[in-house]
Structure 1
Amino acid sequence: MRPAPPPPRFGIMTAPQQVDYHDVLRVWREADAIPQIEHAWLFDHLMPIGGDPDGPAYEGWTLLSALAARTRRLRLGVLVSSNRFRPPAMLAKIATTVDIVSGGRLDFGIGVGSRPDHPLARREYAAHGLPFHDSAHAVGSLAEACTLIRRLWTEDEPFDFHGTHHQLTGAFGNPRPVQRPHPPILIGGRSSATLRVVAEHADVWNIPGGDIDDAVRRGALLDRYCVEIGRDPASVTRSIHVPVSYDRPGVTRHAIGEAVDAGFRHIVLGLPAPYPADVARWVTDELIGTWAP
């Protein structure tokens, strides 16, 4: 008889756009006091991708470090960090700093970066002087980034890295992350090319919610890629982002149920702004209560 699957683990996501820093801080501190909410996330965009295109948007890793210093229990991360924004060795240093500030609570989220068909996401590259390469380049860069970031977190001696997309000379990470051997690596994405990187490097795979049938198909493809490289597919935790409706909680509960039935055990509940008073308690009572042990 197979063992029963583990219960789902719930978290929240507060996209840092069209909000004030103190609004996000309030929600995270509320959630930090509620054990049923185990993790919390930001996104990684430099300009809004929803609402007023000229509205405020905060840099994700800077904000994450501030929130790490003001919370005590929550696992935390960026869902997901764009590998197009920062050189990976610099990102490794940033992530190490957040892991230390948080006392070892970082879940390291990374992905190829914005979809080329999302105009509001695409514009932030030109606005910040960042190149936007094609998908093949982006996926190859992500694979190399995952390799060298892990090496920076774990190797005891300086090393050189000569990849197709990244070159390092005398690379060395000091200090090290609190977590050993390194923070868990979450890779977000749904393309077949990205799923091959997930199979090779990720502890957790995240996919945006919406079409649960597509998520299941993508999960089956990930299983196949894991088997091809000799990895147990069950060693990759399945994570999904589920948008929250404050007005129609039943719709959100149904989406959660579909995700759990499909094998997703890491549930990220996306909270739309503005955030109601006591929203973390509302999420716990209305959405998580049915599933939490």
Structure 2
Amino acid sequence: MPHDPRPSFGIMTAPSQVDYQDVLRVWREADTIPEIEHAWLFDHLMPIHGDPDGPTHEGWTLLSALAAQTRRLRVGVLVTSNRFRPPAMLAKIAATVDIVSGGRLDFGIGAGSRPGHPLARREYDAHGLPYHDAAHAVSSLAEACTVIRRLWTETEPFDFQGDHVRVTGAFCNPKPVQRPHPPIVIGGRAASTLRVAAEHADIWNVPGGGLDDVVRRSAMLDRYCAELGRDPASIVRSIHVPVSYEQPERTRDAIAESLDAGFRHLVLGLPGPFPEGVARWVAGELIARS
């Protein structure tokens, strides 16, 4: 899959502590601004910041609604927790969103949650979901990626019997619009997740943090690709950059550092509440001056 060497910029609107109309307003505005090429939600079922009892919208349901009301933006969830939905069900959901969007889905997936984050950890008990250890989460992610890709590309029903994922007579119809399938974005920084990304990802996203560590993780991904005989340049490097409305120069510095480190896919995280005209502000104050 060829990749454009120029940087691309997108926005992230966490669908938590905000109303649906707030997110819709930002995405509709961004859809009219060519400098903003992609838009993202997160995948949590309860707040992980702010009021722990505040509102949080389910990511894929909201994504489908936003996909239907935009025309140009590439859209996605950064990233889907593989712990929340069975992979075959997730493949069906994602195929539907790709169809609704007319082929604009970037499919983000990761091992799921932050085990050290108590507000994220409570999601599992609250929704009757099992919480397995990190090794289980990563090995099931690898199996999920295999099954999801097969569902999107194979025309005959198939069986898959993995250690964690088991399906019988699985098929996905209709298929996604994009061929051979929507780009797969794998998010995470653990070495075990990077191994999965080396095999399955078209885009690797890292959730920011210290840039020195991020660069080391990118180099680790290069090594895993080499072990598999894959060209490391075939995986686009993506990073989440938090936005400061009060100190845009700090955000511009972080963007410049990320670009210098080889990250060409930048997701600008917009804190809520979202100011009026925030997408145009991002284009003028951050993207145009980067």
Do the structures match in fold with TM over 0.5? yes
Partner of 1:249: 248
The answer on 1:12 being equivalent to 2:11 is yes
Distance in 2 separating the partners of 1:210 and 1:244? 13
Alignment partner of 1:84: what SS? coil
Q: Distance in 1 between matches of 2:155 and 2:62?
A: 30
Runs of 4+ in structure 1 over 4 Å off: none
In the other structure, the counterpart of 2:20 is 21
Q: What is the alpha-carbon distance in structure 2 between the residues aligned to residue 269 and residue 86 of structure 1?
A: 27
Residue equivalent to 1:286: 285
What is the distance in 2 between the residues matched to 1:232 and 1:281?
A: 37
Tell me what 1:162 maps to: 161
Q: How does 1:123-138 map to 2 (within 5 A)?
A: 123-138=122-137
Counterpart residue identity of residue 35, structure 1: P
Shift of 1:156: 1.1
Query: Superposed, which structure 2 residues align to 1:21-100 within 5 Å?
Result: 21-100=20-99
Q: Which residue of 1 aligns with 2:172?
A: 173
Q: CA deviation at 1:245?
A: 0.1
Per the alignment, residue 117 of structure 1 pairs with 116
Q: CA deviation at 1:210?
A: 2.4
Aligned partner letter, 2:55: P
Matched AA of 1:106: L
1:82 shift after superposition: 0.2
Q: Secondary structure at the match of 2:26?
A: helix
Counterpart of 1:125, as a letter, is: Y
Residue 224 of structure 1, CA deviation: 0.2
Residue identity in the other structure for 1:49: I
The CA RMSD over aligned residues, in Å, is 0.7
Structure 2: runs of 5 or more not aligned: none
Q: Distance in 1 between matches of 2:176 and 2:255?
A: 33
Q: CA deviation at 1:62?
A: 0.1
Query: What secondary structure is seen at the aligned counterpart in 1 of 2:275?
Result: coil
Superposed CA deviations along residues 92-138 of structure 1, whole A, max 9, x for unmatched, are 00000000000000000000000210100000110000001000000
Between the aligned partners of 2:166 and 2:208, the Cα distance in structure 1 is 35
Cα distance in 2 between the residues matched to 1:156 and 1:100: 17
In the superposition, the TM-score normalised over structure 1's length comes to 0.97
* Corresponding residue number in structure 1 for 2:142: 143
Identity in percent:
78
SS in 1 for 2:44: coil
Quote the Cα distance in structure 1 between the aligned partners of 2:221 and 2:114.
20
Stretches of structure 1 lacking an aligned partner (at least 5 in a row): none
In 2, the alpha carbon distance for the partners of 1:259 and 1:59 equals 30
| 1:132-188 C-alpha deviation (Å, 9 max, x unpaired) | 100000000000000000000000111000000011000011000000000000000
TM-score, structure 2 as length reference = 0.98
Post-superposition Cα deviations, 1:270-291, rounded to whole Å, max 9, x if no partner, equal: 0000111100000000000024
Amino acid corresponding to residue 283 of structure 1 in structure 2: V
| Counterpart Cα distance in 1 of 2:150 and 2:190 | 25
Summarize deviations over 1:208-235 as a string: whole Å, max 9, x none. Answer: 1121111000000000000001000000
2-structure distance, mates of 1:154, 1:87: 18
Measured in 1, the distance between the counterparts of 2:143 and 2:22 equals: 36
Using the TM superposition, give the Cα deviation of residue 189 of structure 1 relative to its aligned residue in structure 2, in angstroms. 0.2
Quote the offset at 1:28 in angstroms: 0.1
Q: Distance in 2 between matches of 1:129 and 1:80?
A: 21
Determine helix, strand or coil for the equivalent of 2:209.
Answer: coil
Bigger Cα displacement from structure 2, 206-215 vs 74-83:
206-215
How many Å separate the matches in 2 of 1:6 and 1:194? 25
Where 2:131 maps in the other structure, the secondary structure is: coil
Question: How many angstroms apart in 1 are the aligned matches of 2:222 and 2:133?
Answer: 26
Amino acid at match of 1:55: G
After TM superposition, list the pairs within 5 Å mapping 1:189-208 onto structure 2: 189-208=188-207
The whole-number CA distance in structure 1 between the counterparts of 2:140 and 2:42 is: 20
- String of CA shifts for 1:5-45, please: whole Å, max 9, x gaps: 82210000000000000000000000000000000000000
Aligned to 1:51, what secondary structure does the other structure show? coil
Measure the CA separation in 1 of the matches of 2:171 and 2:61. 22
CA distance in structure 2 between the aligned counterparts of 1:153 and 1:71, rounded to whole angstroms: 24
Residue of structure 2 equivalent to 1:219: 218
Once residues 184 and 57 of structure 2 are traced to their aligned partners in structure 1, the CA distance between those partners, rounded to angstroms, is 23
- How many residue pairs align between the two structures? 287
